[in-house]
Amino acid sequence: MTKARLLRLSVVLVSVFMILLIIVYWDNVGTAHFYLHTSFSRPHSSGAIPGITAGEDWEALPDVDEFLEKLLSSSLKQNSSISRKTEQLLVQGSGKPVVSNLEENVRGYDWSTHNARNSLDQEKLQIERQRTLQEFCANSSFTFPTKERSFDDIPNYELNHLIVDDRHGIIYCYVPKVACTNWKRVMIVLSESLLDQGVPYRNPLDIPREHVHNTSTHLTFNKFWRRYGKFSRHLMKIKLKKYTKFLFVRDPFVRLISAFRSKFELENEEFYRRFAIPMLKLYSNHTNLPTSVSEAFGAGFKVSFSDFIQYLLDPRTEKIAPFNEHWRQVYRLCHPCQINYDFIGKLETLDEDAAYLLQLLKVDRLLRFPPSYRNRTASSWEDDWFAKIPLAWRQQLYKLYEADFVLFGYPKPENLLKD
């Protein structure tokens, strides 16, 4: 009898310890991410966790999605009240940033005023963009890799571009070379994920560039597994259903030119070692290249745009590693046929789209979107950049990025694809 009592007592103690451990774990996850502790910490008259009857465990939940959805709804209500209080604060800080980054120093900010085109009916424009995307996603005759897979089929590591702001119920899929630095800054301000001397940033341009692209700064979908374990996919689906989801895109060929300019025409140590050296060896027959980018530039060793295009078309490239995010296709970064985006912005109409989106998100009183760069890569440059690229390469390149052209309503560049 004594042994049986000790055994029962041990089981009770272990159970209590596990419950406390779970509560501490969820509290450590943080109120900014899920607010689960608000549901678990309050005492309940029945002594049970809401949604779980006596004798049930986590495996026996009748509807995990419904359970998580209730918790998330409670979180959003609390966050909305916090947001209303925060909106009473006006954006403070300097109007113009101190630019120290080489790329931003070269490009500069355009501080001239931009008059929004009043004739641009943003609501109709969004309907048109979403209709185009949905039609081609549903069109069985239009195919591209990964189109037919479901959201559950997408590996976690391919969800690393979906940034979540739980405070305002926003999900942003960032596309490099499409104003993503400034949109990431906006997300940092909204989510309050980064502090300056203990105080959240209020002005996006006050946030240093090196912090903007630090992956630890943002909560992204690929981190959910470590936080929420087996509930991660359920939670992702609920947030995708409830949150406002947006992305910004750009003419695919112009985006490639922009990527080439910023990563290979400016001194970039990482991209020189990872990409430029192999390109120069493979496509320009250079050997004994300098180990540093400054030495290489000084000696005249620079990747040409032709080298870059050959690298993209070379079937060996992706056998070694997937495309870098700066030239990876948007459909591979943001999965537009698996995720129903509420807003599709374009860099070509960035100022108007950004202002309208911030209004839709009801955060336009909190901040304004940073101004455009002065010498942003323009679509009118395409003819000059592709003039020395053989026609066959241009045609192959279009096939490689065709899905991005079609899904987001960019016209086929016929002038580049014909003699």
**Given pLDDT bands bounded at 50, 70 and 90, which one contains residue 5?**
confident
pLDDT at 217: 95
The values of phi and psi at residue 373, to 5°, are: -80, 150
CA–CA dist 61, 59 (Å, integer): 6
Q: Which class for 368: exposed (0-12), middle (13-18), buried (19 or more C-beta within 10 A)?
A: middle
pLDDT at position 26 over 80: no
Give the chain's mean pLDDT.
81
Q: 223 and 199 in contact (C-beta within 8 Å)?
A: no
Average pLDDT value for residue range 95-101: 46
pLDDT at position 243 over 50: yes
pLDDT at position 37 over 80: no
pLDDT at position 33 over 50: no
pLDDT at 101: 57
Rounded (10°) angle between helices 305-313 and 252-260: 120
Beta bridge partners of 246: 172, 343
pLDDT at position 46 over 80: no
Enter the DSSP assignment of 220.
Answer: B
Q: Could you tell me which residue, 374 or 336, shows the higher pLDDT?
A: 336
pLDDT at 6: 72
Of the candidates 176, 203, 173, which has an alpha carbon nearest to the alpha carbon of residue 190? Answer: 203
- What is the tens place of the pLDDT at every residue in 48-92? 333 323 333 333 334 555 555 655 555 555 555 444 444 444 334
229: left (phi over 0), alpha (psi -120 to 50) or beta: left
Q: Which class for 403: exposed (0-12), middle (13-18), buried (19 or more C-beta within 10 A)?
A: buried
Q: What angle do CA 242, 246, 249 make, to 5 degrees?
A: 160
CA–CA dist 292, 270 (Å, integer): 9
Helix (H) or strand (E) holding 133: helix 122-138
- Span of 38-42, 65-69, 234-238, 315-319 with lowest mean pLDDT: 38-42
The values of phi and psi at residue 109, to 5°, are: -100, 145
pLDDT at 380: 75
Q: 206 and 185 in contact (C-beta within 8 Å)?
A: no
pLDDT at 98: 43
Q: 394 and 382 in contact (C-beta within 8 Å)?
A: no
Q: Please give the single-letter amino acid code of residue 419.
A: D
pLDDT at 1: 54
DSSP assignment of 143-190 equals --TTTT--GGGS-GGGGTTEEEETTTTEEEE--TTSSHHHHHHHHHHH
Average pLDDT value for residue range 364-382: 79
Q: 203 and 94 in contact (C-beta within 8 Å)?
A: yes
Alpha carbon separation from 74 to 22, 37, 69, 229 (Å, rounded): 19, 11, 9, 21
Q: Give Cβ neighbours of residue 251 (< 8 Å, ≥ 6 apart).
A: 347, 348, 379, 410
Rounded (10°) angle between helices 391-407 and 252-260: 120
Of the candidates 370, 363, 355, which has an alpha carbon nearest to the alpha carbon of residue 205? Answer: 370
Alpha carbon separation from 340 to 55, 210, 322, 380, 390 (Å, rounded): 38, 31, 25, 31, 38
pLDDT at 330: 98
CA–CA dist 38, 245 (Å, integer): 26
> Could you count the other beta carbons within 10 Å of the beta carbon of residue 4?
8
